[in-house]
Amino acid sequence: MQHEPQGALPVKDLVSVAHLESDDIRKIFATARTFKAGRGDHSRLLRGKRLGMIFEKESLRTRFTFEIGIQDLGGSAVFLDHRDARLGSRESVMDMAKNLERWVDCIVARTYKHKAVTDFAKHANVPVINGLSDFLHPCQALADFMTLTEKWGDVRGKTLAFVGDGNNTCHSLIHTAAKLGANIRVCTPESYEPNSKVVREAETEASKNGCEVVILNDPREAVDGVDAVYTDVWASMGQEDEREERAAIFADYKVDEELMGLTAGAVFMHCLPAHRGHEVTAAVIDGPNSIVFDIAENRLHVQKAVMALLMTKTPIDTTGVTA
């Protein structure tokens, strides 16, 4: 079932960054920066709009930033905790979507299975935002690259190294880098590389935008001369039973001072929560080149922009704001 876009973006939903054009991403960034700078009164932009939040996973940043964001724009949020009952177990996702579309104006889904997000988007006649799935984490990657554009002005020609597990965050970073013309090197142990379809799609996009996607297994080679180093937990939510096994496999992929010393004075990035002493040392994540809390702050502004651009066609004046 196809639904027409309702807002100022040419898509109805934000399920994947791959569904956006580079200009759409820059529009999100410009809108986010407008909100962040407090330019204009947007406190009634989404007045009367309701956000339904359907979460299977624990959350700090995603829940707080979406709830605060919708309130800042004049709307309200309702939270439905599904940690004790997986989506589709009590009633189908389709039926949930058809109910929710009668009560709310937008749905944020934070799920284990990516199919739950795509099913919500397929069946709901209101915008659906992927708040995280086991395959993608688009809001995180948008906040990551908004933060990099704040630091650098433009990400084109810059190189980001992702060191760790080829997971959901990694997939969305690959999509976003390719769209914006940034080089990305993904470095994982063998058999933990990112999804091959994601890589192929991004390589096609990168060839159009003058950048490259490189998959490696040697951390020292991956970070050599790069502008940013990114890592994430080695065992994501739902992989707790693999934690000890993964700790041994990923031991050589820890981001420490020695590894950062091989870069071009790179900034350090992490989507949080972080485990100091595991995937990253305290000296790196708490050091002067770490931008992890700048990224966390920008989750709020990016998600406000996404909600505004999906739920309303009301023009948002971004004059003078660099995208």
Does the annotation count 299 as an active-site position?
yes
Q: What is the pLDDT along the chain (323 residues), one digit of tens a residue?
A: 668 899 999 999 999 999 999 999 999 999 999 999 999 999 999 999 999 999 998 899 999 999 999 999 999 999 998 876 678 778 899 999 999 999 999 999 999 999 999 999 999 999 999 999 999 999 999 999 999 999 999 999 999 999 999 999 999 999 999 999 999 999 999 999 999 999 999 999 999 999 999 999 999 999 999 999 999 999 887 777 888 899 999 999 999 999 999 999 999 999 999 999 999 999 999 999 999 999 999 999 999 999 999 999 988 999 877 76
Selected catalytic residue, list 82, 110, 270, 301: 110
Selected catalytic residue, list 137, 171, 175, 270: 137
* 17-137+298-311 and 140-295, same CATH topology: yes
Does the annotation count 71 as an active-site position?
no
In this structure, the strands spanning 213-216 and 128-132 are unpaired
Selected catalytic residue, list 61, 82, 139, 140: 140
| Distance of alpha carbon 237 from alpha carbon 241, whole angstroms | 10
Per domain, the residue ranges of the chain are: 17-137+298-311, 140-295
Q: Which residue is it, tokens 């023009």?
A: 315
Of 71, 60, 72, 61, nearest to 35 (Cα)?
A: 72
Does the annotation count 110 as an active-site position?
yes
Does the annotation count 26 as an active-site position?
no
Selected catalytic residue, list 61, 114, 299, 301: 299
Using the 8-state DSSP alphabet, how is residue 194 labeled?
Answer: P
Could you tell me the pTM of the whole model?
0.96
CATH class of segment(s) 17-137+298-311? alpha beta
* Tokens representing residue 288 in the block: 């002067």
Does the annotation count 220 as an active-site position?
no
| Distance of alpha carbon 261 from alpha carbon 225, whole angstroms | 9
Are the beta carbons of 35 and 303 closer than 8 angstroms? no
Does the annotation count 140 as an active-site position?
yes
Selected catalytic residue, list 144, 227, 232, 301: 232
Identify the H or E element spanning 215: strand 213-216
CATH architecture of the region 140-295:
3-Layer(aba) Sandwich (3.40)
Q: Which residue is it, tokens 């992929």?
A: 253
